[in-house]
Structures are given as C-alpha cells and as structure tokens.
Amino acid sequence: MKLRFNREEMADALRSICAVAAARTPKPILRCVHLEAKSDVLLLSATDLEVSVRCSVTQIEVDQAGEAVVVADTLSRIVSECNDELLSLELADNQVHIRGAGSHFQVVTMDAKEFPAVPAMVDTPDIAIPGKILKRMIEWTLFAAAKESTRYAINGVLWELNGKELILAATDGRRLSLSRGELETNGNDTSFKIIVPSKAMNLLARLPGDGDQPIGAKMTGSQLLLSVGTATIGTALVEGNFPKYEDVIPKDCDRVMEMKTDEFLGALRRAALLTNEESKGVKLSLSDGNLTLSSRAPEQGEATVSISVKYKGESLEIGFNPVFLTDVLRVTDAESLTMSFKDSNRPGLIKQGDAFTYVVMPVNLASA
Amino acid sequence: MGKATIHRPRNFFLPDPQPGLYCSVGLEVARSLPNSIMPYGVSLYGHLLPENTGLDFCTKIELALETSRMSQESKIKVLPPLVVRKIAAGEVVERPASVVKELLDNAVDSGATHIAVEIKGGGKELIRVTDNGCGIAAHELTLAITPHATSKIVDDNDLFAIQSMGFRGEALASISAVSRMRIVSRTADDDEAHEIQVEAEAVRSSHATGAPPGTTIEVRDLFFNVPARRAFLRTPSTETGHINEQFTRTALAYPSVAFELINNGRTTHQLPACENRLERLSRFYGPELASAFMHTERDERDVYLDAYTAPPTHSRATPSWQYTFVNGRFIRDRFVQHAIREAYRGLMEPKRHGVAFIFLQVDPKTIDVNVHPTKIEIRWQDSRLIHSQVLSALRETFQQADLTPTFRARPHTPIDPAQQQQVREQMADLLKQASPIMPSQAPPSGGGFGSPSSDRFGAPGQMGNHQTSPTSQWEALYKPNDPQQRDYEYDGSPQSGIPLSPLSPDQPQRAIQLHNMYLVSETDEGIIIIDQHALHERIMYEKLRDRIATGSLESQRLLLPETIKATDAYQALIEEHDQLLATLGIEATRFGDDSIAIHAFPAILKSIDVPLFITDLLDRLSNLPAGTTTEVVIHDLLDMMACKAAVKAGDALTDLEIEALLEQRHLVEKSSSCPHGRPTTLRLSKADLNKQFKRT
C-alpha cells in the first residue's frame, strides 16, 4: 500500500474514527483504524463491536492498493500535528511510514485480517431524513438519556418510525424528552421501534456534513445502518423495552405559563448559583404575570430572581433541579416556550410546538 | 459466697419477682453464648448478668438450687406449676412467629404433604396451621397439650439422635398456656375427627366433629393472659414479617411439601411441591437470582452438603440472606457463617455479604439440638469438620465459576486494604513517637512539596486578611536553610495569638492528592494528611444531619418508578418506616404481591443505583436490634447515604474539587460527634518532622 493524501480531509475523517475506536479495551485491535486503499478512494473504518463507522477520503493519489491497521489515536495525532498539505503513507515491513516535508513516522501495524468486519451501506437506504431535522432531533433528546442506568433500555434513544413520522425519545427516569420529525422518503413503508445506543447518536450528531444532505437509514438484521454522505455508521441496538412514553406525558396540565426562553434560562442560572450538592432544588413560585425563582443553600445564602411571564390563574409553588431545566433551555431554539403544571407533586411539561415535548419531575423541596 | 437474684427484666411477664426466688450462689457464671433470646436477668454478687448469657431460665434456677444445696443455705422454693409453664412458654413462645415455627415443625413431623398457614392481625388475632399428616388420635389429644408429652422420642438415647423437628414435648403445652387454642385432628384410621378447646392450659371442651385426616391447630388471642408480653408485640406488619421469615425457613427446608400462607384472607404464598430446592428458592427470591445461583453438592465424610450460592455481584449489606439448614432445621451457626464469609473473602468488598443457602445432612448422633430454647443453635460433635467441608466445597465452586475476572474489570484499580492499613499504621506510629503539637511552634514550613514559595499562599479566600501581613513579611525574610532565623522571625508574631476559628493555624493552604486517596497539605504547624473519602463522608453527614434537624431531605420525584423485588417482610418494612423514609426523601409503596415501587429518591444521591440502594437500606432496617430508637436509625441511614454520596478512595479529584473539600473542613471540625469514629485527618507537626530528620 502506497499513497498520498490531503492532510486536512484525512484529519476530519480520523476525528470521526477516533470517536468510535475504543480508547481502553482488552482487545488492542479495537483501538485501531482499518485503512484500505483502492484505486480512487481510501476507506477508513473503526469499530468497538457495538458501534462502527466507515468513511472515505477521496483527495488521494494511490500508487499501490492495499490495507493496513494502525492505532487510530496515534495516526490521528500525527496527521493533525503535521502542517504539510500532502502527506504520504506507505506500508513496508509491517510498518506504516508517514512522510511529510521534513518528518518521517514509522508506526507499527497489526494484522489486517484480524480486524472485525465493518458493515457498509450497500443498497439505497430505506428511509431518508433531512440532515438538519435529524441532527436537531438528536440534540433535543440525547441529553436526557440515562448514562449508566442498570435499566439498559434507557441508556439509548428510542426511534419509533410510523409512516413518515419519526419520533425520538430519551429518558433517565427523572425526565423525558421527545421530538417528532418528518421523513423525506420512506421507501418500503418501513416501520420500527428500536433503541439506539447514545454513542451512535452522538457520533451521528457530530459527523461532518452540511445540514441539507439527507441522512439515510436502514435496518439490517439486528443492526441499524445510517449513512451521511459517504460515511456509514453501523450500530447494534439496545435490547429491552423502552418505557411507554405516552403514559408519562401528562395530559392534565392546566396551569400554563409562557416565557421568553433566554430570560428564563438567565433567571434559572442566577438562582442556581445558590444551590449546592445537598440542596440543589430551585423553587418556582408562579403568580399572575410573575415567576419568582428562589434557592437556598445552608451556610451559603439565598437567591431570589423574578421575571415576568404570561400566566393567569392560581398561584403555584414547585421545585425543580435547575440542571434539568437549563439542559432543555440550552437546546431549544424557540424564542418563547410554554411550561405547564398540574400541581407541585406532578411533572412539569415544556413544549415547543408539536416537534418537541419535555417532561420533568419536580423535587420535593425540603420543608424548613 | 454471693447473692443471686432473679429479676424481672424489661419485657418479662411475671407479675413481680417471687419472694421465693432469692437464693445465694457461689460460683461464677462463665458460659456465654450469643444470640440467645433469654428474657430474664439473674444477678450475681448484685450485678445484673447480661440478658444474653445464653443460660435458659431453668438452668439458672438449677444452678441456684444446686449451689445453694452445696452451701447449705436453703431458701429456695419450688415455683407453682402455672408460673413454671408461663416461664417455659416465654422461652419457646416469644412472639407469634414462634408459634408459627412450632406448629410448622409439628406439621412437618406429622409427614404432611400439604401445609397451610393462615394468620390474622400479624398472628396476634389468629394463627391456624392445617396439615394433612398423620393426625392425633382422639384419646391422645389432651395428652398432646400436657407438658413434656411427645410422640417423637421415647428415652434419653433418642435425645441424642433426633430425627424430627420437635422432641421436647413443650411446644403445644407452652402455646396453650398463653393462648386460646383449638385442635381438630383425625388420624387416617379414624372415621371422624376430634376437637378440643383449651384456654390457658385448661381444656374447655372436647367433642367429636367432622374433618379430613390431618391436624388443624388454631391459636387465638396469643398472650391474652400475659398483658405485658402482649404489649411488647410490635405492629401487625412487623409480626407478619417475622412470621413470613419462619414460613420461608420451613418452606425452603422442605421443598417436597406444598405450603400455603394466607395473611388476612389474602394468599401471599402458594408453593406447590417441588422436585428440587432451586425451584423453591426461585419462588421466594425470583427467577433472576435463582438463575444466577451456583450449585454445590458434596457428600464426604458423612456430611452431605447441598448449597446454592449467588455470585458476588449479588452481595448484600447484611448477612440476612445466608440461610443454614441442618437436617431440615434452620439454624444460626457461627462455624457455617464463618465458612461462607471465608469462601467469599477477596471476591467482594469486606463489608458485603454473599447470598448463600446451605443445606446440610449429618448423622443426628453427631449434633446436639437441645442447646437452645428455640433450637436455633446446635452443637456439633466436630465443628471443624463442618467448617472445612463447607468452606472447601464453596471454594471449589467459586474457583470453577471463575468469579475473579469481573473484579479485575472494575474501572478503578481496587485499593488494597492491607496496604491502606499499613500506611495508616505507619503514620500512626510516627505520630505516637512525635511530641504533641505545641501551639507556639507555628511557622509554616518552607517549600513543602516543591511548590514555588511565591504562590504557597496563593489560594485566595482561605487565609484571612489578618494573616496576610505576617505571612508576606515572613516570606520576604525567609531563607530555607536557616532554621535559626526562622525561629527568630517567628517569635512573638501576632499569628500565635489568633484564636481557634474556621481559619485556625491548622487550616490547610493547598493540597496535593496522592494515590487518588489522600490529600496532603501544608499547614502552619506542619503537614496534614486527609483521607478524602472519610472527610467528604463526614462533611456530607454533617450537612445531611443539619438538614434533617430542620425538615426532610430534598427529594427528586421519579418519572418512571423504580421497582424492586421484595419479600412480604420488606414490603411490611417500608410501610412501617414510611415516616422515616419520607424524612430521608424516599417515597416507596407496595407494588403487586412481590415488589416495591420507588417514586421519589433523595436528590443528593443522583448517580446511585436506586434499586441497589433501597435493597441495602431495607437490609439494614430489617436487621435493627430490638428497641433501636428512630434517632439511631436515622443516624445509621444518613451515614450510609453520606458514604454513598461522598467521593470514593480512588477517585481522582480536580484542583477545584480538592479546594472545595478543604474549604468545608471546618464543618467537621466544629462537630464533636463522628459517624463511625474513623479519623479523617492525620497531623504531622513540624517538630515531628524535624525529629524524624534528626534536625533537632
């Protein structure tokens, strides 16, 4: 294998690769990137046996086709530290030589035959979603997914496809985030209900590509394949049953407040300044046209912040973990939002039209 | 020659100490056995013996009698029979669960294949045990309730080869002395059944009646004639919990017998006869745990062992899920317990306990069952043999199961407790040798840990303004290799007069983290070494305690309630302690027949496995010694929460985290109480250091 490549394009591709290649693993080959040079394309792939990514670099000149396996992180750092426009890469004596103007790196390789198979999107994907919309939906939901819950099913994001409607939902048992979007095409009228691991969702959100490009998706066996431009992500699915999200979205929230997103976010952040690990709750006191946020941390002090909101009705006091609210305010792009309540023991509901729904459970503030 | 007095302790039911019960004895009582439920006190030489001396009441009287005969001072009087019966009943029948145990034992001994237990009001109102066993012939019914009447043994030789559960002929008599009892029984050969009704030992009626073969014993109004004892019974749900435990023990020991438990008209357990123990274990503990069990079977040196042990990942906070059975009898045995602990050692954290069900069959001649009033302890002829058989069999199973790799896969390198201990000891030795810290020896040591002197006091906000000027003054004049000058410069410095406050001279200025476990910092007086986990745990504990003093903890409601499998006993626990749990920010309810749903959880425990935490908590609650006050329970649980919420040994801390931790140190120092007495901080004064480096 011998070729020259455009350094910047390669560096971009390697960033996605490194997001997948396992950093610490008992199987060293999983730390590696698989390079395969064909006449006009260099294919890069990596896998941690759960999520895989495959992408291509096209600004290359191949002298000799072939394949090699090197530690992804090492190659990535070499490529990004160099400042040449072009670098050459050659496999000789089980070592990969990377040469720039004044530099020469020899990197040990591993046996390419041992590298696990990484799936590629061969056929046309069944469904296509506008990239902008899907990335948006991921941003709206992924943050709410559980991190290391023993209920494995909620460590991922639910994808529910029905006709042309796609629903993504995520929960960590304390809040739930749900977004709806419209597909561009749904070729075989596919419908499914699957749970995609957070790692794959993260990768998808970060893959380079302009937002107008559609993202293709296809189920093959127990894997979901996603294609963005020339890159393919393959992911195993999380087994288990995702909780019934319909059941936890309250339908009886009759106290509706409407507020400016950035004002609410600012007020929350200020009120959260006087919270600490044992008293993290912020109290929302709602009365006609006014929302007062207050917090109190023993031995630190108290904060009170008021903003004006659109609200009419009985006054209400309810506590929330401010993080659960700021999380969602950061990802929404609407100028104003509605948040509605039933009472101080029941969930709060934040909506941005039909596209986005967020349910968050209150904190019972310590009675003083 | 001393004086022995028999006392009425707190929960004793005799009206008053009998005047005839005074006697003089002249020997020391040396024997002492744990776990006895002995509710009487005897004083020797005027000192009250601990209630758990393990001597049963009769032994105490015998002792007194014998010694008084020896000393020829005869003031002993024989007790009236009913008093003796009540005393004996107190030994055997402590609470409704004891009645259930005795009746279940009888039912099992009768060869029944189906046994039903029905209780009402936690067994205080009604306990009814129905079996389809051999039955009691009509003419023997009254004999059955006579003390020391039994069909199970004939002479004293049988006593040392006991095959049956019961043998003393004590149970029915004891129970009948303190309750209203009805027995209906029919042997297979008889055409009709016979019924007798007994109230406080007196037969009220006796007549023929219709019933299927087998025996039904009904016990109503337990302790109706012993108001003191009745008053000491706990809530129905607690008593139900104890009954459940007894039921579980018997049902686990006899998988081939079908069992049924009905509580207040609701069937809580319906256990068909099973072919093997695993099936029955699965009924009680759920298929998930049952499928994880490792099975050990071994028949060696006349000890047959059948054991089901769960992998260390299922470990519990208390040993309450370790069951030992010998010849079908549930026992508590320290030899077997020790063997289990040894087998699990190194496979789980030291404070955790494995889940183990041990079924032993041994030659009845090699054990003595007659050593404890409720037969919960036995004596082995060769305890070492039992210990080694259990230990080696379990070890073999664990080794074959190859449990170790799961521990190596932990994200953090486990800290070797031995090594930790060693460091502690070395430090402690060092401190012992060193002289006490003198308040006047206050100057900060220079250049500790290689930090440039210019920013040694750089951490803002930790030093008060009043300290700034002497410090900078001192710094300007400081020369590292000139101790003379140091002493001179410091003499009479205003700093030595500063009273102890949050900004005491001992307040650390900056710290480095060693082994991701200890924080080492320079203070004006020397250096301090802080155990990061112990310190954080205590800070958390203090804060939580302050919170509890003014209300309840902040509680995050859950969108999706977490559910955990729970026995009836545990379900009862959450109901009994709901106030306490609410204070801690936990809202849990009974969920279906065999689960608990958790609806709200303390907000501070955000990254904790909820089911695991609640299980641990319930384990603790279920093992509270009798009479524990709410305050002690809260203390215990807060301690547990603080421990879970605190940084662990092995967690790498950022500079900001270290700073924050040290800033809060004064919270701990102010308080005099300490959750469990472990030191958080070791101090090494400069004098100590100088001495070690022979700089004096």
* pLDDT higher than threshold 80 for residue B445: no
pLDDT grade, residue B498 (50/70/90)?
A: very low
Q: Which pLDDT value is given to residue A97?
A: 93
Partner B, chain A 295-314, Cβ-Cβ below 8 Å? 298-299
Q: Which pLDDT value is given to residue B211?
A: 79
User: Is there a contact between B558 and A365 if contact means CB atoms under 8 Å apart?
Assistant: no
User: Is there a contact between A365 and B554 if contact means CB atoms under 8 Å apart?
Assistant: yes
Inform me whether the C-beta atom of residue A240 falls under 8 Å from chain B C-beta atoms.
no
User: Is there a contact between A277 and B645 if contact means CB atoms under 8 Å apart?
Assistant: yes
- CA-based nearest residue to B126, from B214, B236, B11, B271: B236
- Name the residue of chain A whose CA is nearest to B585's CA: A364
User: Is there a contact between B547 and A171 if contact means CB atoms under 8 Å apart?
Assistant: no
- CA-based nearest residue to B604, from B564, B548, B670, B549: B548
Q: What's the average model confidence in pLDDT over A68-92?
A: 90
Cβ(B336)–Cβ(B387) below 8 Å: yes
User: Is there a contact between A173 and B551 if contact means CB atoms under 8 Å apart?
Assistant: no
- Name the residue of chain B whose CA is nearest to A283's CA: B554
- Name the residue of chain B whose CA is nearest to A278's CA: B604
User: Is there a contact between B555 and A364 if contact means CB atoms under 8 Å apart?
Assistant: yes
Question: Of A39-48, A143-152, B622-631, B661-670, which range is least confident?
Answer: B661-670
Q: Which pLDDT value is given to residue A360?
A: 92
Cβ(B107)–Cβ(B48) below 8 Å: no
**Beta pairing class for A127-130 and A214-220:** antiparallel
CA distance A322 to chain B (A): 12
Inform me whether the C-beta atom of residue B689 falls under 8 Å from chain A C-beta atoms.
no
Q: Is A202 exposed, middle or buried (0-12, 13-18, 19+ CB in 10 A)?
A: middle
Q: Which residue has the higher pLDDT, A37 or B292?
A: A37
**Beta pairing class for B303-309 and B294-300:** antiparallel
pLDDT grade, residue A303 (50/70/90)?
A: confident
- CA-based nearest residue to B186, from B222, B146, B134: B134
The answer to whether the Cα torsion of B490, B493, B496, B501 is positive or negative is negative
The ipTM of this complex is 0.73
Cβ(B501)–Cβ(B649) below 8 Å: no
Q: Which pLDDT value is given to residue B675?
A: 52
Residues of B with Cβ-Cβ distance to A363 under 8 angstroms: 554-557, 603
Q: Which pLDDT value is given to residue A170?
A: 92
CA distance A30 to chain B (A): 17
Task: Kindly report the number of other CB atoms within 10 A of residue B426's CB atom.
Answer: 10
Q: What DSSP letter does each residue of B1-68 carry, written as one string? A: -EEEEEE--TT--SSS--GGG-EEE--------TT-----EEEETTEEPPTTS---HHHHHHHHHHHH
* pLDDT higher than threshold 80 for residue B151: no
Q: Which of B288, B536, B537, B557 to mutate to test the interface with A (most CBs of A within 10 A)?
A: B557
C-alpha A278 chain-centroid distance: 30
CA distance B552 to chain A (A): 5
Partner A, chain B 514-573, Cβ-Cβ below 8 Å? 540, 543-544, 546-547, 550-560, 562
Most confident of B10-19, B45-54, B509-518: B509-518
* pLDDT higher than threshold 80 for residue A179: yes
Q: What's the average model confidence in pLDDT over B97-102?
A: 86
Q: Which pLDDT value is given to residue B468?
A: 37
User: Is there a contact between B559 and A361 if contact means CB atoms under 8 Å apart?
Assistant: yes
Q: Which pLDDT value is given to residue B492?
A: 34
Q: Which pLDDT value is given to residue B32?
A: 30
pLDDT (tens digit per residue) in B522-548: 877 788 888 888 888 888 887 777 777
* pLDDT higher than threshold 80 for residue A339: yes
Q: Which pLDDT value is given to residue A27?
A: 83
Q: Which pLDDT value is given to residue B489?
A: 34
* pLDDT higher than threshold 60 for residue B486: no
Helix (H) or strand (E) holding B615: helix B610-622
Q: The tokens 């025996």 sit on which residue? A: B215
User: Is there a contact between A363 and B555 if contact means CB atoms under 8 Å apart?
Assistant: yes
Is B647 strand, coil or helix? coil
Q: Which residue has the higher pLDDT, B126 or B484?
A: B126
Question: Of A305-314, B595-604, B618-627, which range is least confident?
Answer: B618-627
* pLDDT higher than threshold 80 for residue B598: yes
Say how far apart CA B280 and CA B682 lie, in whole Å.
Answer: 52
pTM above 0.80, yes or no: no
Q: The tokens 């101080």 sit on which residue? A: A344
- Mean pLDDT taken over chain B: 70
Q: Which pLDDT value is given to residue B121?
A: 84
pLDDT (tens digit per residue) in B36-82: 333 344 443 333 444 444 444 545 544 554 454 544 444 555 666 66
Residues of A with Cβ-Cβ distance to B544 under 8 angstroms: 278
* pLDDT higher than threshold 60 for residue B406: no
Q: Which of B412, B554, B587, B665 to mutate to test the interface with A (most CBs of A within 10 A)?
A: B554
Inform me whether the C-beta atom of residue A247 falls under 8 Å from chain B C-beta atoms.
no
Residues of B with Cβ-Cβ distance to A359 under 8 angstroms: 559
Task: Kindly report the number of other CB atoms within 10 A of residue B583's CB atom.
Answer: 21
Q: Which residue has the higher pLDDT, B80 or B186?
A: B186
pLDDT (tens digit per residue) in B622-667: 877 766 677 777 877 888 888 877 777 777 777 777 877 777 776 6
User: Is there a contact between B554 and A363 if contact means CB atoms under 8 Å apart?
Assistant: yes
The alpha carbon torsion through B537, B543, B548, B553 (nearest 10 deg) reads -80
Q: Which pLDDT value is given to residue B90?
A: 65
Say how far apart CA B88 and CA B77 lie, in whole Å.
Answer: 17
Q: Which residue has the higher pLDDT, B42 or A80?
A: A80
pLDDT (tens digit per residue) in A51-66: 999 998 989 999 999 9
pLDDT (tens digit per residue) in B203-250: 788 888 887 888 888 888 888 777 777 777 777 788 888 888 888 888
Q: Which of B412, B556, B598, B609 to mutate to test the interface with A (most CBs of A within 10 A)?
A: B556
Task: Kindly report the number of other CB atoms within 10 A of residue A251's CB atom.
Answer: 7
Which residue in the set A176, A277, A366 is minimally distant from B559, CB to CB?
A176
pLDDT (tens digit per residue) in A162-171: 888 899 999 9
Inform me whether the C-beta atom of residue B143 falls under 8 Å from chain A C-beta atoms.
no
Q: What's the average model confidence in pLDDT over A282-307?
A: 85
Q: Which residue has the higher pLDDT, B142 or A259?
A: A259
Which residue in the set A150, A280, A299 is minimally distant from B603, CB to CB?
A280
Q: Which pLDDT value is given to residue B417?
A: 57
Q: Which pLDDT value is given to residue A78?
A: 92
pLDDT grade, residue A104 (50/70/90)?
A: very high
* pLDDT higher than threshold 50 for residue A18: yes
CA distance B532 to chain A (A): 17
Q: Is B660 exposed, middle or buried (0-12, 13-18, 19+ CB in 10 A)?
A: middle
Cβ(B604)–Cβ(B586) below 8 Å: no
pLDDT grade, residue B287 (50/70/90)?
A: confident
* pLDDT higher than threshold 70 for residue B413: no
